[in-house]
Amino acid sequence: MKVIIAAAGTGGHINPGIAIANKIMNEEPKSKIEFIGTNRNLEKDLVPRAGYKLRTINAYGIERKITINNLKNLYATYKSISEAKKILEEFRPDIVIGTGGYICIPVVIAAKKLGIPVILHESNAFPGVAVKLLKKKADKILVGFNEAKERLVGATNVVVTGNPVKIKKLYLNQIEFEEARENLGFGVDKPLVLAFGGSQGAQSINKSLLEIIVNKKNKDYQIIWAAGPEQYEKIKNKLLELHMNIDEIQNVKILPYIYNMEEVMNVCDLVVCRSGAMTITEIAVVQKPAIFIPFPFATENHQEYNAKVLENVGAAKIILDKDLNSEILEKTIESIVNNKEILKQMEINAAKVDMPKVEERIYKEIKEIVK
């Protein structure tokens, strides 16, 4: 199979594309897969690192306001249709797969001009502009959540497959669970709260957590907290000003980044984080209760819609960023971790959103088009 995958911008668009590519290669090792993106964003690092060739075009996301720069970007994106068409004519793929974002628009338009089948994958619960614009051009639209299907009004070719993620649920026995906790530096006598704000951290979450720790409000639970590389240093210095050593805080481990996220997610009791589509999916996979603080500047507020997927089934609480402070966060954490019945029920509820064998579902849909 020869495949072009259009993926650019954020990990939420690129990582599903890589996961789909890996599944195709596992099933059909002789396949040829290349990506189309830009030379500006994460794809220029993530795609080659995953072992795939990246072709680039000069496309841009368009802001919803009239400015000279925006008009220039719009013109460049229009011209990039011919750039994409040239790549497709040269590579001659059996199918083009777009994983959302602005890069899909010129690539899909070029593919349709050449009569190449198109599949789109939308990871968010609230479909992005690109997928909405292209819904009539795609042969199939694969979505991560049922809610996305409901919002693609007029589209008759939508299939709910789930989102492909790396993290899996680990079915640990009690001894394995205790050893995993011990390896992280925590005991099993108190609940463990995992907190993070994405790869770069989240200032509002970090500020609230810092106040909780400084005021020693977490006596009844433990915290493992990925603050983000840059913010980690600021937090370390702030704690030093208060005569606190970042490596010697009771019940707390603060890190720049968590590299063993699968292990940590599986042994924690509660997750506090933003609500990107991949994060929502991972939490559903490991079946953990969550407190979501949606990123307030996400396009079309899609993170709040993502968070509601788990809130609506009783698996999560949402605190809007504008309402977040240490007191509200601490009370919300306490209300969940101090009640074993609530914790257990939220875990059961999270499992309702999990979709097994996502990669197999997606591969099946691709094969139905590429016969």
Q: Are residues 41 and 141 in the same domain?
A: yes
Q: What is the CATH number of the domain that holds 72?
A: 3.40.50.2000
Backbone angles phi, psi at 356, to 5 degrees: -75, 155
Average pLDDT score over residue span 40-62: 92
Q: Does the residue 167 lie in any domain? A: no
Q: Are residues 337 and 361 in the same domain?
A: no
pLDDT at 197: 87
Q: Does the residue 273 lie in any domain? A: yes
Q: Does the residue 169 lie in any domain? A: no
Q: Are residues 88 and 188 in the same domain?
A: no
Q: Are residues 107 and 188 in the same domain?
A: no
Q: Are residues 145 and 180 in the same domain?
A: no
Q: Does the residue 152 lie in any domain? A: yes
Q: Are residues 198 and 336 in the same domain?
A: yes
Q: Are residues 258 and 302 in the same domain?
A: yes
pLDDT at 73: 81
The span from the CA of 35 to the CA of 46, in Å, is 11
The span from the CA of 24 to the CA of 2, in Å, is 10
* Domains held by the chain: number: 2
308 has pLDDT over 80: yes
> Cβ neighbours of residue 211 under 8 Å, at least 6 residues apart?
325, 326
> pLDDT per residue over 311-335, tens digit each?
999 999 999 999 999 999 999 999 9
> Cβ neighbours of residue 149 under 8 Å, at least 6 residues apart?
143, 158, 160
Q: Does the residue 260 lie in any domain? A: yes
Closest CA to 258 of 236, 226, 224: 226
Q: Are residues 230 and 289 in the same domain?
A: yes
Q: Are residues 57 and 184 in the same domain?
A: no
Domain that holds residue 111: 2-162+357-369
**Reported pTM:** 0.91
Strands (DSSP E) contained in the chain are 2-6, 32-37, 53-56, 95-98, 118-122, 140-143, 158-160, 192-196, 222-226, 252-255, 270-273, 290-292, 316-318
Q: Are residues 340 and 361 in the same domain?
A: no
The span from the CA of 58 to the CA of 244, in Å, is 49
Q: Are residues 114 and 184 in the same domain?
A: no
Going by their DSSP bridges, the two strands 270-273 and 290-292 should be labelled as parallel
Going by their DSSP bridges, the two strands 270-273 and 192-196 should be labelled as parallel
Going by their DSSP bridges, the two strands 140-143 and 222-226 should be labelled as unpaired
Average pLDDT score over residue span 207-211: 97
Q: Are residues 155 and 10 in the same domain?
A: yes
Q: Does the residue 187 lie in any domain? A: yes
Q: In the β-sheet with 222-226, what is the strand arrangement from edge to edge? A: 252-255, 222-226, 192-196, 270-273, 290-292, 316-318
Q: Does the residue 279 lie in any domain? A: yes
Q: How confident is the model at residue 65 (pLDDT cuts 50, 70, 90)?
A: confident
The span from the CA of 193 to the CA of 344, in Å, is 15
> pLDDT per residue over 116-154, tens digit each?
999 999 999 999 999 999 999 999 999 999 999 999 998
- Return the percentage of the chain with pLDDT > 70, whole number: 98
361 has pLDDT over 70: yes
Q: Does the residue 343 lie in any domain? A: yes
